[in-house]
Amino acid sequence: MSLANGRHYLAIPGPSVMPDRVLNAMHRAAPNIYAGELVEMTHALIPDLKKVARTDQQVAMYVANGHGAWEAALSNTLSRGDTVLVLGTGRFCHGWGEMAAKMGVQVQTIDFGKQGDIDASQVEDALRADGDHKISAVLSVQVDTSTSVRNDIPALRRAMDQSGHPALLMVDCIACLGCDVFEMDAWGVDVMVTGSQKGLMTPPGMSFVFFNEKADTLREKADCVTHYWDWRPRINPNGYYQYFDGTAPTHHLYGLRAALDMIFEEGLDNVWARHEKLSRMIWAAFEVWGTEGPMQLNISDPAKRSHAVTSVNIGAPNGTALRNWMINNAGVTLGIGLGMNTPDDPNGDGFFRVGHMGHVNAHMVMGLLGTLDTGLKALKIPHGEGALTAASTLMARS
């Protein structure tokens, strides 16, 4: 008998769980896009988005998903024939680099593998080796959503500074803005991209490019920039339509307003702390399961794990089997093992991911862990006992 009926829980790393408050804010008649409340509300979103990114620099908004923000960041700063240095720590930064290559940009890659984080000293060496400063930008992800690694962006910045190289530091925070600590200005990030549908708890369809003056100087000569992606009119619109180069994403804006209100009511520091604590509860459970069986967190060092997503290896075909069991019997959908394929596991069936970004609290995490424990038993996958106790003990020790 299935016990899946009831409120479904989408526990994948984006789109994340949407708060009812966000959904209710969107449930309204079409607003006027020429004057009035929507226009005022949009102006007011700008300083609040900057608060979440911890920056006093600029933000351009797009009617696009994260891939759109990637293209916007590249096209405003690069020219055909320029070079970017891609720091691969999983699927996502490679994807950003592939996009740059299709735009006519040369791509140099350092690959840190599917379990590694960025080694800043290798980046420093690569930049020192580029004596003529051919590299225009370094592309990185703060969190790679496929491996769940969290890169040390301040260390990357220090390495770039030590090399004396002028390349821009571009960081993809699509997975983790509003989940993992991020300080755009204090960390010296030149360009940061993010989307609406993960930590910002709003449906997919809006994305954001934050950039500083140094990045805007490159915009001057960037020949990849096209009318639609140009960030200049968007940060300094002559008319309301220029914020989005056309019709505004009216209902998304109401949803985003509600989501930002929720973040500020809780306090961004508290939001970060909640994500950290919930992550530690999840890891505690997985570590106990792993003591007697195949379950393994993909990133072994807790200091290098994201607080937004956790990638797990349980061996093929157990990953897919457990995901299917959770959907069919418990009403929980876990993430697939994206980009974690190996020759002996061509479909990534050994992996799954837990999204714990945005609108997630303790009872959701404890429920998820309880159903996972049940799934392991139902499928007779060997595992250590006491995972839930480990998680609840950690939670109680506040």
Torsion of CA 377, 383, 386, 388, to 10 degrees: -60
In angstroms, the CA 259 to CA 236 distance is 24
Cβ of residue 188: shortest distance to ligand PLP, in angstroms? 20
- The residue from 145, 148, 202, 212 that contacts ligand PLP (CB under 6 A) is 145
Q: Which residue is nearest to ligand PLP (CB)?
A: 66
Complex with ligand PLP: residue 68 or 290, whichever CB lies closer: 68
To the nearest 10 degrees (0 to 180), the angle between helices 362-378 and 387-396 is: 170
Cβ of residue 90: shortest distance to ligand PLP, in angstroms? 8
Cβ of residue 145: shortest distance to ligand PLP, in angstroms? 3
Stretch of residues binding ligand PLP (CB under 6 A), selected from 60-68, 154-162, 250-258, 263-271:
60-68
With CB under 6 A as the rule, give the number of residues binding ligand PLP: 12
- The residue from 26, 55, 66, 271 that contacts ligand PLP (CB under 6 A) is 66
Cβ of residue 205: shortest distance to ligand PLP, in angstroms? 9
Residue 92 interacts with ligand PLP (CB under 6 A)? yes
Residue 65 interacts with ligand PLP (CB under 6 A)? yes
Binding to ligand PLP, residues 160-219 (CB under 6 A): 172, 174-175, 195, 204
The helix (H) or strand (E) run that includes residue 311 is strand 309-313
Complex with ligand PLP: residue 193 or 235, whichever CB lies closer: 193
In angstroms, the CA 161 to CA 309 distance is 30
Query: For residues 108-147, b (16+ Cβ closer than 10 Å) or e, as one string?
Result: eebebebbbbbbbeebbebbeebeeeebbbbbbbbbbbbb
226: its two tokens: 């096209």
Cβ of residue 271: shortest distance to ligand PLP, in angstroms? 18
264: its two tokens: 């500020």
Instruction: Let me know: does 205 contact 79? Beta carbons within 8 Å.
Output: no
Complex with ligand PLP: residue 58 or 207, whichever CB lies closer: 207
Cβ of residue 14: shortest distance to ligand PLP, in angstroms? 5
Cβ of residue 350: shortest distance to ligand PLP, in angstroms? 21
- The residue from 9, 14, 251, 299 that contacts ligand PLP (CB under 6 A) is 14
Complex with ligand PLP: residue 37 or 98, whichever CB lies closer: 98
Residue 256 interacts with ligand PLP (CB under 6 A)? no
Cβ of residue 335: shortest distance to ligand PLP, in angstroms? 11
In angstroms, the CA 140 to CA 143 distance is 9
Instruction: Let me know: does 282 contact 369? Beta carbons within 8 Å.
Output: yes
Query: For residues 274-288, b (16+ Cβ closer than 10 Å) or e, as one string?
Result: bbebbbbbbbbbbbb
Instruction: Let me know: does 105 contact 84? Beta carbons within 8 Å.
Output: yes
CB contact set of 265 (below 8 Å; sequence gap of 6+): none
Residue 67 interacts with ligand PLP (CB under 6 A)? yes
Complex with ligand PLP: residue 112 or 325, whichever CB lies closer: 112
The Cβ of residue 270 has, within 10 Å, a number of other Cβ atoms equal to 11
Which stretches of the chain bind ligand PLP, using CB under 6 A? 14, 65-67, 92, 141, 145, 172, 174-175, 195, 204
